[in-house]
Amino acid sequence: MALKKNEKRLLPILGIAVVVLAMNFMGLLGGKKKPQTVQRTVKSATSAVKTAAADAAQAIEGTSAKPAVSKQHFSTWGRDPFTSILYEKATSAQRSRTAAPRLKGILWRGNKPFCLINDEIYELGVEKKGIIIEAVEGKKVTGRKGGQPFTLYWSE
């Protein structure tokens, strides 16, 4: 198989490229200079960071560490400036709803009834959080809260 004229010209160029790549791979072409340069760069960067840290520490020691804003600044505002007004209205509405007793369930253990009111379990005749259960009849619970009578009905 005979090579064409153009292929004969490219063959020596290809040979030289292979030799240069092999020498570069083995580290014969400039391999010693790069690690020293990197090592010097790392040393100079480390020393620069150390001096910057020392300067920052001296600057911090020289100043007084008082907070820029204290709670006294916000005491005259009347509300927390970092919460939404809508959130405050929602939480006050939830508080007003939870103030009234709400019957969530009636449980029976043998002949003894228990009531689940505002996520608390109440026994018949036992006072808990100002609420006394006086009677349980079917789905109806009667009792007293703060001396005032109330009747609750359980619905599914």
Query: Does residue 112 fall inside a structural domain?
Result: yes
Domain hosting residue 137, numbered range: 100-153
- Angle made by CA atoms 56, 59, 61, in degrees to the nearest 5: 110
Higher pLDDT, 145 or 50: 145
Query: Does residue 130 fall inside a structural domain?
Result: yes
Query: Would you state the pLDDT for residue 142?
Result: 93
Counting the structural domains of the chain, the total is 1
Question: pTM for this one?
Answer: 0.37
**Mean of pLDDT values over 5-19:** 87
Query: Does residue 79 fall inside a structural domain?
Result: no
Query: Does residue 54 fall inside a structural domain?
Result: no
Answer whether residue 8 shows pLDDT above 80.
yes
Query: Would you state the pLDDT for residue 145?
Result: 87
Query: Does residue 2 fall inside a structural domain?
Result: no
Alpha-helix runs per DSSP H in 1-156: 5-26, 33-62, 71-74, 85-99
Answer whether residue 47 shows pLDDT above 90.
no
Q: Which conformational region is residue 147 in: left (phi greater than 0), alpha (psi within -120 to 50 degrees), or beta?
A: left
Query: Would you state the pLDDT for residue 135?
Result: 93
Query: Does residue 121 fall inside a structural domain?
Result: yes
Higher pLDDT, 156 or 46: 46
Answer whether residue 95 shows pLDDT above 70.
no
Answer whether residue 12 shows pLDDT above 90.
no
Query: Does residue 25 fall inside a structural domain?
Result: no
Q: Which CATH number does the domain housing residue 144 bear?
A: 2.30.30.830
Query: Does residue 109 fall inside a structural domain?
Result: yes
pLDDT band at 75; cut points 50, 70, 90: low
